[in-house]
Structures are given as structure tokens and as C-alpha cells.
Amino acid sequence: MTTDTILNVALTTKANVYFDGKCVSHGFTLADGTKKSVGVVLPATLTFNTGAPEIMECVGGACEYKLAGTDAWVASSVGESFKVPGNSSFEIRVTEAYHYICHFG
């Protein structure tokens, strides 16, 4: 099951632009105060650092990711999620636009 729509959110209107636009996201807050973002990674290989732990939920396209300290590239596609520990990093390799929801914490 893919999360196509998220109801009742407060949407931040200004985008977050990373790596000269290879990744763009918009932040939002749920009614209970939880902060998340929706975004897209365009074809590229990028490295993201994490503060809080993150769960990357794929809502379109696909990617491969490699968690810090591992050697394996793992595929993730629509409906699938992967966890990234806090204070860590992950590499992401994208050939077709990867659309995601980022759940923090």
C-alpha cells in the first residue's frame, strides 16, 4: 500500500533544496506536532547525513541505498521503506526519480 495523500497537515511553503536541486522536499507537520517531509531525489548518487533516525518511505520510482558501515546496495521501491540510524549517513543511488516521505525519529 502506497501513501498517496496525507490528511490534515500544516504545510511549509518554502522548499528544501539539496545538492543543487538533485533533491527537493517540502516539510509538513501533523496535527500531533510530528514533523515529516515529502520529497524527490532525481537521478544521481548522493550521500545524506542524519541527525534524528529516519524512515524513508518510497511513494514513487525506486532507489538503491547503502547504510553507513555496510557494503551492500539495497533496492527500495514503491510501498517499501528503509530505516537509517540517527547521527549516521546513507548513500542513495537513483536512476529514475525516487519520491519519498521522510519520517523522523
Residues that bind a copy of itself (CB under 8 A): 2-15, 17, 20-22, 24, 26, 28, 38-40, 42, 59-60, 97, 99, 101
Question: Please, what sign has the CA dihedral across residues 73, 74, 78, 81?
Answer: negative
CB of 97 to a copy of itself, least distance (A): 6
Q: Please say which residue, 43 or 86, places its beta carbon nearer to a copy of itself.
A: 43
CB of 2 to a copy of itself, least distance (A): 8
Closest C-alpha among 52, 53, 57 to residue 39: 57
Task: At 19, give phi and psi (nearest 5°).
Answer: 50, 55
CB of 82 to a copy of itself, least distance (A): 16
Q: Please say which residue, 60 or 85, places its beta carbon nearer to a copy of itself.
A: 60
* Beta strands at 44-49 and 89-94: parallel, antiparallel or unpaired: antiparallel
Helix (H, G, I), strand (E, B) or coil at 34: coil
